[in-house]
Chain A
Amino acid sequence: MTGVNVVEIQSVTKTFPAGNVTALENIDLTLTTGEFVSLIGPSGCGKSTLLRVIGDLIEPSAGTVTVNGKPAKQARGDHDYGIVFQDSVLFDWRTVAKNIGLPLELLGWDRAKRKQRVDEMLELVELGSFGEHYPWQLSGGMQQRVSIARALAFEPALLLMDEPFGALDEMTRERLNLELLSIWQKLASTVVFVTHSISEAVFLSTRVVVMSPRPGRIAGVVDIDLPYPRTVETREEPRYFALVTEVRELLRKRGEHLLPEEEAALTE
């Protein structure tokens, strides 16, 4: 499970001509197989932009990105990653099963194979009996589980998640954190996880990458050495608190770059 580089980011810079904003400056980051890496930082630090650069949804102004040893563009064409957004982005006119099956349809899988995989995915996210429901008939947390199932349906090596639980309430969020970890361990995939929440980042990740804004840079990386499987009790261990504090200090150290409301948003 070690050694192979899934994502390699080399001196990536991204400037947006509109407003002359430097969203990312000179980013270097490497992810190996099976890692769960969180990107955390205040709004405007470029964490979502970095995620999109990895997914080739945004082209970097300078630098290179490789995914599974290929240029990001080719990796996208080869369906090497799945993506989950903050809102579930489900299509209202498709049932839950058909939403999960969408990428498989685009890959040209036949009906029987598709059905089998969709059923597996529904089991994985514990929505076995909801396949024929429509998205609007589900709660926000259930919708996000469908979205995760869709991202994992074609077994991508890499899972990109852009604040996937940001719009959910705290209790649903903690439950989905546990579910996500168990899925991740079952599938042994690599995850890049963008979040605003320090506790969520520490609880989930093998590594937390702390970013600072204007221009977007990596302020520091914290290795999370808490043992897996992590449970509800993990959140009560002293080591967990120590790591949360360490991440918070790193964000603080860059505090002179923060606006007051950005700092307030980070002290949960």
Chain B
Amino acid sequence: MSTTVSFARRGLSVVAVLAVIVGFYELYHWVWASTGWTHPFIVDDTSMPHIWVILHALWQPAQVNQPALGTILFHKSLFTAKEAAVGFALGAVIGFALGIILAHSRLLQRGFLPYIVASQTIPILAIAPMVVVWVNPKLPAGLQGWGSVAVIAAYLTFFPVTINTLRGLQSADPGALDLMRTYAASRWTVLWKLRVPSSMPYVFAALRIAATASVVGAIIGELPSGLQSGLGGAILNFNQYYSIEPQELWATNIVAALLGITFFVAVVAAEKLVVRRAPENIA
């Protein structure tokens, strides 16, 4: 009973928040367009198309004899979601394993951690073409194309997971560690019975960041790979027609935003199922 009430309330607040955002957008458009302000940029129906124009575009075919843009974007977002999900899973597993390995040795941490940090300063978009050229020929036929994009998504996903797994494994209560020692528990037992459970809140905090990062990685990975089946390809495509039909790029970006939020919400929901005891700390 109370859960349905809170569910309804949450749904209502989402609608309210959306209304506020749309309201601000249109208000900004109206103020800037009517006063003719040009700072920081010129506002017109090209730079900021009306919300209803964008929504309307979703029901229209982007080209003659094609399904509606919304339908197309839905299929493209499923494709990108597949890349992102595989990249997320790959990155999460690798990141977690790396965290566990590094947690066992100060020497390994000193040797590798600086490079793991430095790896994130590499602009992924710049190396994506090379990753695609490099990884693609080694993939089986079923993974051709999107498989290499998933690898790029994994590259962005693994980092926060590694860092937070390491921090979480080290966060185990010293008293509990002493207790385990009195049981003469092996390193392995201590790891699975104590360190991993106490690392869970940290790991999930990282997975929330990683969820968005995997979508970013999938979209970015599609750009240089020439893949037209996903949202990244659509962004690149509609970008060229922006001056004529800006609403199509906007619609694509809104779908991309929804995909990112969906991934985030999915991880939060999974966290609620797994870490029931931990205090709620979204953000």
Direct contact of A and B (CB under 8 A): no
B interface residues (Cβ-Cβ under 8 A, vs A)? none
